[in-house]
Structure formats: C-alpha cells, structure tokens
Amino acid sequence: GIQVEQSPPDLILQEGANSTLRCNFSDSVNNLQWFHQNPWGQLINLFYIPSGTKQNGRLSATTVATERYSLLYISSSQTTDSGVYFCAVEETSGSRLTFGEGTQLTVNP
C-alpha cells in the first residue's frame, strides 16, 4: 500500500513563530487531507488539497502531486495551534485514506 511519511515528528515553537510541516507519499493520490487533532482528541479537517495551494487564515497548504509531497504552513503560531497534525492520502486505485504518523506541535507562550 501507499506509504506516508511526515516530518518532523516533533516541533516546539515559541508563540508567534512560523513553521512548515511536510508530508511525503509514495504513489499517485486522488485525495490528500491535513487534519489537526487537538489535545482533547478531536480531529479537525484543515484542508482537502490533492493538488495546488489553499489558504485559510494563518494556515496554508501546498501539494505538488507530481513530486509526491505536501506542505502545511503555520504562520504567527498560537498556543491553540498545539496538537498533532496528520496528513492523510488516498491512492488513485483505492478508496482508503492512509494516515501518516503525525507531527506533534507544541507552541509555548
């Protein structure tokens, strides 16, 4: 099956800093999503982005499907951004969303 690798596995920031999270995947995809899992365990859908670039407030994401990677940018980070960020992809040949292992982000005040 498809492999999904996220980096870095852990990231500690001071409030106000910017960060970039990366997701590499091993095969063509027809779906790529970024999720934020908050400290209470809730999964929040950030972006549906199989290709191209999207922005939502301080967050933006870019997927370069031909090179099999996606980037999530967080600008002016806030303590409420803390949690785990997951990248999940779905192969063009299947109907299963495969998750990476996540990036644990801690934003300190």
Partner 1 sequence: NAGVTQTPKFRILKIGQSMTLQCTQDMNHNYMYWYRQDPGMGLKLIYYSVGAGITDKGEVPNGYNVSRSTTEDFPLRLELAAPSQTSVYFCASSYYVGGDRGFGPGTRLTVT
Residues that bind partner 1 (CB under 8 A): 30-31, 33, 35, 41-43, 45, 48, 50, 86, 88, 90, 92, 95-102
Q: How far is the CB of 16 from partner 1 (least distance, A)?
A: 28
Rounding to the nearest 10 degrees, give the CA dihedral for residues 73, 31, 23, 21.
20
Q: How far is the CB of 26 from partner 1 (least distance, A)?
A: 15
- The smaller minimum CB distance to partner 1, of residues 17 and 27, is found at 27
- The smaller minimum CB distance to partner 1, of residues 13 and 46, is found at 46
The radius of gyration computed from the CA coordinates of the chain, to the nearest angstrom, equals 13
Beta strands across the sheet bearing 4-7: 4-7, 19-25, 69-74, 59-64, 52-56
Nearest Cα to Cα of residue 105 among 88, 86, 92: 86
Q: How far is the CB of 41 from partner 1 (least distance, A)?
A: 6
